[in-house]
Structure 1
Amino acid sequence: MKPYNEIEPFFITEEIEAELIAAGYAFVLPGHARTARIRELFGWQPGETLSEPVSRHLMMAGTASGCEPRGEGL
């Protein structure tokens, strides 16, 4: 296994995972890391820009919580 190089980003590839497992390390992803699609997060529809569903989501969240969204472009 190559030593860690601070200049290059470190990613766990399948090859590195296999080497770690063979060396006795357990490979467990952190429980707090999640991925989601923009459609799942903001209800994005084809043809929309990213800002449209994000703004819509923030408006709905602000209405539901009584808070106003802040920031440029909103």
Structure 2
Amino acid sequence: MPIIAALTTRTIASFNHPGHDLEHVGRIITSDAVLELIRTSYNRHTSRGLTPKDAVIKVGQTVIATYCNRAGIPTG
């Protein structure tokens, strides 16, 4: 799960939106609550037959989209 948190944090911070630098995003993404959601989602995807790689991609996409939607960062 740390790799998903690290990759999504770097990706979100790379958008360079004010107030969403690497440190700020990292604090949110590495919070216990978010890490637990990442773990649960990854396990759910792999138990449904996704490969580990595909599960990482799927979870990462979801984390990025959710963060951006909640922060008002356009994703399109």
Q: Which TM-score applies when normalising by structure 1?
A: 0.31
For the pair shown, which has the larger CA radius of gyration, 1 or 2?
1
Higher-helix-fraction structure = 2
Q: Which TM-score applies when normalising by structure 2?
A: 0.30
Higher relative contact order (CA 8 A, sep 6+): 2
